[in-house]
Amino acid sequence: MISAILAAVAWGTLYLRIDLGVSLFAFVTAGLSLALFTPNSIAVISERHSSRLAPILFAVFYLSTWGGAAIASVLAGWASENAGASSPLLIASLLFVLSGVALVRSVLPHTRDGVPSTSPSTGRTGRLLDIRGMIASVRSNSLLSFYGFALFFHAFGFSMITPYLSLFADKVVGLDMTGVGLVMAAWNAGLMVGIVPWGWVSTKMGSEVTLVGHFVLSAISWFTLTLSQDLASTAALMFLFGLVGSMDMPARRALTGELASKEKLAEATGFIELVNGMGGLLGSVLGGFVWERLGPAYPFYIGPLMTLISVPPMLKLASRVRSAAKR
């Protein structure tokens, strides 16, 4: 609920006024919203279900969220063309308000025999914000720290390109806002199509093996985006981009649950999100710098190289996970 409120405030504020200071406030607030939403969502799934079913359940979770994102991409493109460039910000703010209202019932205290009970999410959120506990969990779990190290470079490379995908479609390929919305929808469509099959593959082959394949295929799919020529080719390549991207989340979330005990899952999830946030922040800054200094295509050259750095440590982690499982 807090996550939805923060997001509504962020995008609503940016709709009312757009300048550097307000933009920084909006994006920091939206980032905090996402930081609260993602780990708690993952913790709920991991704590309530067995690790064997986790990849499939994460696939269903992301199928629903990415389905909404695909619809939103088309809606945003249409709204920008017909109601003004800032109209998607207002729509997003209103949707988050509706989401917050829907979530209120899940966090309000319930009563049993006249005695109020507290939601387990309260304790979970507290653990997510427990920096000391997070550090202790990482120090006591070498596999988790090694996992975070591997993910850092993937997040770095991913964030070198993703903030600039719509800009690339607009400025380089030459699509209008409706076209940009359609190719972003194609990305989300690829995510939706692949998420459940890849979740099943993860349960059969192992989450760590799936992630290794994801890193390698990501490098290829990111590079091929530079081959975009028109709406059809860009949409096809973005669909492929999403299809490969859908390998990530079910396997990543399941592996986090496998590497951490249920008592330490919230701290472990918070650590992984922190690592991803750090890699994403640095990657997006470098991506913008490279775009300006070297040209629009260069983030799509360097980003794949960054994610390939994640392959050797991930292979090592896969070997250690399998060795530990045989003991």
pLDDT band for position 127 (50/70/90)?
very low
pLDDT band for position 43 (50/70/90)?
low
Encode pLDDT of 256-296 as tens digits: 878 876 667 767 777 887 888 888 889 989 999 999 999 99
User: What pLDDT is recorded for position 269?
Assistant: 76
User: What pLDDT is recorded for position 32?
Assistant: 73
User: What pLDDT is recorded for position 33?
Assistant: 74
Close Cβ partners of 263 (under 8 Å, ≥ 6 residues apart) = none
Please give the residue that has the higher pLDDT: either 250 or 127. Answer: 250
Q: Is the pLDDT of residue 94 over 90?
A: no
How many angstroms separate the CA atoms of 64 and 18, rounded?
31
Which CATH fold topology does 2-104+121-313 show? Growth Hormone; Chain: A; (1.20.1250)
Q: Is the pLDDT of residue 194 over 90?
A: no
Give the DSSP H/E element, type plus range, for residue 9: helix 2-16
- Rounded to a whole number of angstroms, the CA Rg of the chain reads 20
Please give the residue that has the higher pLDDT: either 49 or 25. Answer: 25
Q: Where are the domains of the chain?
A: 2-104+121-313
Q: Are 240 and 224 in contact (CB under 8 A)?
A: yes
User: What pLDDT is recorded for position 205?
Assistant: 85
Close Cβ partners of 12 (under 8 Å, ≥ 6 residues apart) = 89, 90, 93
Sign of the dihedral defined by the CA atoms of residues 128, 309, 225, 173, in that order = positive
Q: Are 184 and 73 in contact (CB under 8 A)?
A: yes
Q: Is the pLDDT of residue 124 over 50?
A: no
Residue with tokens 């609503």: 12
Please give the residue that has the higher pLDDT: either 202 or 212. Answer: 212
Residue with tokens 């994006």: 27
Please give the residue that has the higher pLDDT: either 40 or 273. Answer: 273
User: What pLDDT is recorded for position 118?
Assistant: 46
One DSSP character per residue, 76-145 reads HHHHHHHH-TTHHHHHHHHHHHHHHHHHHHHHSPEEETTEEE--HHHHHHHHHT-HHHHHHHHHT-HHHH
Whole-structure pTM value: 0.70
- Of 39-53, 137-151, 311-325, the poorest mean pLDDT is in 39-53
How many angstroms separate the CA atoms of 130 and 144, rounded?
17
Across the range 145-157, mean pLDDT stands at: 89
Mean pLDDT of the chain: 79
User: What pLDDT is recorded for position 122?
Assistant: 45
User: What pLDDT is recorded for position 211?
Assistant: 92
Q: Is 206 left (phi over 0), alpha (psi -120 to 50) or beta?
A: left
Q: Is the pLDDT of residue 158 over 90?
A: yes
Please give the residue that has the higher pLDDT: either 92 or 242. Answer: 242
How many angstroms separate the CA atoms of 324 and 260, rounded?
13
Q: Are 215 and 311 in contact (CB under 8 A)?
A: yes
Q: Is the pLDDT of residue 54 over 70?
A: no
Instruction: Work out the number of other CB atoms within 10 angstroms of the CB of residue 122.
Output: 10
How many CA atoms lie less than 13 Å away from 263 in the CB half-sphere? Answer: 3
Closest to 191 in 3D by CA, of 151, 230, 218, 224 = 218
User: What pLDDT is recorded for position 77?
Assistant: 76
Amino acid type, 210: T
User: What pLDDT is recorded for position 116?
Assistant: 47
Q: Are 29 and 124 in contact (CB under 8 A)?
A: no
Name the percent of the chain lying above pLDDT 90: 26
